[in-house]
Homo-oligomer: A and B are copies of this chain.
Amino acid sequence: MPLTELEPVQSWRVTAPKGRGIYDEGQPPEAFYRVESGCVRLQVIGADGRRQILAFFLLGDVFGLDCGDCRQAAAEATVKTDLTRYPIAAVERLLGSNPAAATRLMTAACDMVHALSAHLVGMGHASAEERAMWFFEWLSGRQGAARGAPLDLPMNRRDVADFLGLAQETLSRTLTRLEERNLIGVLGPRRIVLRPPARIAA
């Protein structure tokens, strides 16, 4: 189901294979996107080669709505992903002329703020275990999965580690420990179950 508020805007369906870049850091913005399936990571590569993933975008998320002259971060598909692409020029046009669309765009921007805020709070959790649990709770909520149902991760360990600001070895060890404590079950590299009713506050 496409966005009704943005119907007056011409848009294109595009498909990005796993690992394909949607846009790069430093580029002038040309379009913004909506995720129709799959997953996109928003990332920055530091001078030291360190990668920080700022956000993952899942079904229904709108991203790439930058107002600045150039992209602050790159966007890449973590798995095969379907997107709807809207020209960025539509933003200027809709703001101030189309109330419903303008509100929708503002909502998208606010959602982004909430996502980044939540991420920052999650990163504030001192321990690796808390961070990992927080991530799975978040993903579980996003996927609307019932507790006890397995969770399919649309990204690899490295992505998760870079999202949480952990070394991938630390993340791996942490998952092992969480499984030993029976807080989660690791069914496979990309398949996790949250075991008991969660105690970690959202």
Contact = CB atoms under 8 A, between A and B. Distances in A.
A68 interface: yes
Interface in A27-86: 44, 46-47, 50, 52, 54, 65-68, 72-73
Given A92-B103, A165-B124, A117 B50 contact: no
A113 interface: yes
Interface stretch (A94-102, A144-152, A176-184, A187-195): A94-102
Please tell me how many copies of the chain the complex holds: 2
B119 A47 contact: no
Nearest to A95: B102
Contacts of A126: 50
Interface stretch (A12-20, A104-112, A135-143): A104-112
B91 A95 contact: no
A120 interface: yes
A21 B44 CA distance: 34
Contact of A117 (B72, B98, B105, B201): B72
Interface of A: 44, 46-47, 50, 52, 54, 65-68, 72-73, 91-92, 94-103, 105-107, 109-114, 116-121, 123-126, 165, 201
